[in-house]
Structure 1
């Protein structure tokens, strides 16, 4: 998986900091969403090609034995909480393998890589503009 790590590091490093919430970070995050989305999809497709299959998720409802609160009256007639075993449903997320068409995945990878390259210059310019508009102390 050859990548231009210098460009990726220059563009992605400020994007990773975007979750912090400074004005500069918010500016970068707000204006580089498509680049981040394409980069994430590209990483997913490259992982699928490396493994030879894709991962998908589904929700499964399962039963779990747990403690449930019940109310009863004691000898004095006061209401007291008791805990009794009971079955409760819960939703579990299950990952499973899905076969892929390698040729289709390679075409998808090539298209996403081209789109990422097209967006990289714009994202780099946005990062520089946000850094100029909202300078931060380096201390």
Structure 2
């Protein structure tokens, strides 16, 4: 869990910067989302075919020995803090190999490639329209 928080904290400035793109960049990003998604899926399927297996992730709960804060109260009311060993659960993400059906992956690759080719013409038009609508000053 702590790793996920660290990742989100590290990505927060990047997310803020991406939201602050120029109007042209926002227009292009907003209108080419499907094309980028299909391209990413296609590269994943091609990687699976090249390797012969796919990668998947699962969350695994692991227990680690750490130090936990403990308190004792004396008779006079004073509270003493000390640390003692204790077991804590952590959630880790684990990657593992998954066998693929090569014929199914090839069909999937062919379908994604056809969809990408169909979207490429529209994507080029959208990029051209966004550049015309929001010219950037150099």
TM-score range, shorter chain: 0.7 to 0.9
In the alignment, structure 1 segments of 5+ residues that lack a partner are 1-17
**RMSD value, Cα:** 1.9
Aligned to 2:21: 21
Q: Whole-Å Cα distance in 1 between the matches of residues 79 and 127 of structure 2?
A: 62
Which residue number corresponds to residue 42 of structure 1? 42
Name the TM-score, length of structure 2 as normaliser: 0.78
Q: Match of 1:114?
A: 114
- Count how many residue pairs are aligned between Structure 1 and Structure 2: 121
- TM-score with structure 1 length normalisation? 0.78
Alignment match, 1:5: none
Deviation at 1:70, TM superposition (A): 2.0
Q: How does 1:67-82 map to 2 (within 5 A)?
A: 67-73=67-73, 77-82=77-82
Q: Return the offset for 1:135.
A: 1.9
Give the Å deviation of 1:82. Answer: 2.4
Q: Matches of 2:80 and 2:123 in 1, distance apart?
A: 62
Q: Following superposition of structure 1 onto structure 2, how do residues 1-139 of structure 1 map, counting pairs within 5 Å?
A: 19=18, 21-73=21-73, 77-138=77-138
Q: Which runs of 5+ in 2 are unaligned?
A: 1-16
Q: CA deviation at 1:30?
A: 1.1
Q: Which residue of 1 aligns with 2:3?
A: none
Per-residue CA distance 1:74-131 (angstroms, 9 max, x = gap): 6863324322221111111111111111111111101100100111111111112112
